[in-house]
Structure 1
Amino acid sequence: MNIAVYCGSSIGNNPGFTEAAKTLGKWIGENGHTLVYGGASKGLMGAVSNAVIEAGGKVIGVIPDVAIIQARKHTGLTQLIETKSMAERKSKMIELADAFIALPGGIGTLDEITEVMSLSSLNIKRGPIVLYDTDGYYRPLKAVLDNILSAEFGRREYFENVLLSEDIQEIAGFLGGSSD
């Protein structure tokens, strides 16, 4: 399974964020899945990609022609795809992926995972979507999603394929893979 992971190109202020990225990367690599991610060597992106590589897995980086992002390019990937823009990068990652996971990250991570949710709600792109809720990072977003439902701007079925969890075994089960 190709799993798109969206996350920060920095590590944030909580060591648990890096540990979650490493745990997820190790699981992806050990279970024969392929990581599809933003192509950076730093931050949580670097942590998850390096863990996949160390576990013997495949990693596809998708990186836009943006100087600040190119400066962080990971050079040890299975495959590196360069795109002309951020929009093309998002589109390529969605095209390549069968499942989607958001680790903690910034506005770019939020943009990417909510686009996947939107496409899923329209049945344009389906697949499991996970908000990896390290130390409650995504609980505020969950409150927003709950508010969308209660205000009747969305239907419950829009979110049937979305999981909020920080438990790798629960995430593995949701994705349909082994957690061992």
Structure 2
Amino acid sequence: MRRLAVFLASSDGHDPAHAELAAGVGAELARRGIGLVYGGGRRGLMGVLADGALRAGGEVVGVIPRSMVEREWAHEGVTELVVCDSMHERKAMMAEYADAFVALPGGLGTLEEIFEVWSWRQLGFHAKPVGFLDAGGFWTPLLGALRGLADAGFLPASTLDDLAVAPDLPGLLEVLEERLRGTPRPAHGENPRQLDR
């Protein structure tokens, strides 16, 4: 795995453990030589994640819409700041840069981003693994709700089982690496950017 896309909050949240987690993930990715791809912000957990990776000497690629740069939300200290025109383009570019995707604590934006790349995988638009870092059981209620969708027949059990979930980053990276080695490439050669057209 050369680069990992991480989706997470642009706010701090109420629990300081979330910031500690974000900083630790950034540092651990850098130690392992895995580049970080994220939403390019300097605020909240996003900024903490990027700073953790940068302090440890890691590569950090931020992808951010121009309107957010104009609001001075961009992290100017990252290795590479990619400015795009829309949220749709942001997600497509992050998908191109990364080899896998992970959700850390976050809200609506985090959920929207991770669910979109997960649905792209299910539809065969890419073969990159998707996972949730369930540190402290943060995602456990959501994962239970997803199991309910599968039980109700609205989500294939195979799709749910394909999701990588672990309580710590080393365990999650191990599962993602297994998925990378074992998942065939998409049959029709499409890419996520085409979904925006």
Aligned partner of 1:61 in structure 2 is: 62
Instruction: Answer whether contact 1:53 1:59 (CA < 8 A) is retained.
Output: yes
Instruction: Answer whether contact 2:121 2:129 (CA < 8 A) is retained.
Output: no
Instruction: Answer whether contact 1:25 1:48 (CA < 8 A) is retained.
Output: yes
- TM-score, normalised to structure 2, is 0.84
Name the SS for the 1:66 alignment partner. helix
* Deviation per residue, 1:91-114 (Å, 9 max, x gap): 111121111111111111000000
Aligned partner of 2:137 in structure 1 is: 136
Instruction: Answer with 147-156 or 46-55: which moved more.
Output: 147-156
Per-residue deviation, 1:156: 2.1
Instruction: Answer with 54-63 or 126-135: which moved more.
Output: 126-135
Amino acid at match of 2:100: A
* Deviation per residue, 1:105-136 (Å, 9 max, x gap): 11110000000110111121222222112322
Aligned partner of 2:20 in structure 1 is: 19
Instruction: Answer whether contact 2:150 2:160 (CA < 8 A) is retained.
Output: no
| Cα distance in 2 for residues equivalent to 1:69 and 1:123 | 35
Per-residue deviation, 1:70: 4.1
Instruction: Answer with 127-136 or 29-38: which moved more.
Output: 127-136
Per-residue deviation, 1:166: 2.2
| Cα distance in 1 for residues equivalent to 2:76 and 2:68 | 16
| Cα distance in 2 for residues equivalent to 1:169 and 1:37 | 19
Flag structure 1 segments of 5+ consecutive residues without an equivalent.
none
Q: Residues 15 and 91 from structure 1, CA distance in 2 versus in 1: closer, same or farther, beyond 3 angstroms? A: same
Q: How does 1:149-164 map to 2 (within 5 A)?
A: 149-164=150-165
Amino acid at match of 2:156: R
Aligned-pair identity in percent equals 37
Aligned partner of 1:98 in structure 2 is: 99
Q: How does 1:26-65 map to 2 (within 5 A)?
A: 26-65=27-66
Amino acid at match of 1:35: L
| Cα distance in 2 for residues equivalent to 1:28 and 1:59 | 10
The total of aligned residue pairs comes to: 177
- TM-score, normalised to structure 1, is 0.91
Instruction: Answer with 70-79 or 56-65: which moved more.
Output: 70-79
Per-residue deviation, 1:69: 7.4
Flag structure 2 segments of 5+ consecutive residues without an equivalent.
179-197
| Cα distance in 2 for residues equivalent to 1:108 and 1:155 | 24
Name the SS for the 1:60 alignment partner. strand
Aligned partner of 2:79 in structure 1 is: 78
Aligned partner of 1:8 in structure 2 is: 9
Name the SS for the 1:41 alignment partner. coil
Aligned partner of 1:174 in structure 2 is: 175
**Largest Rg, 1 or 2:** 2
Instruction: Answer with 28-37 or 65-74: which moved more.
Output: 65-74
Instruction: Answer whether contact 1:63 1:70 (CA < 8 A) is retained.
Output: no
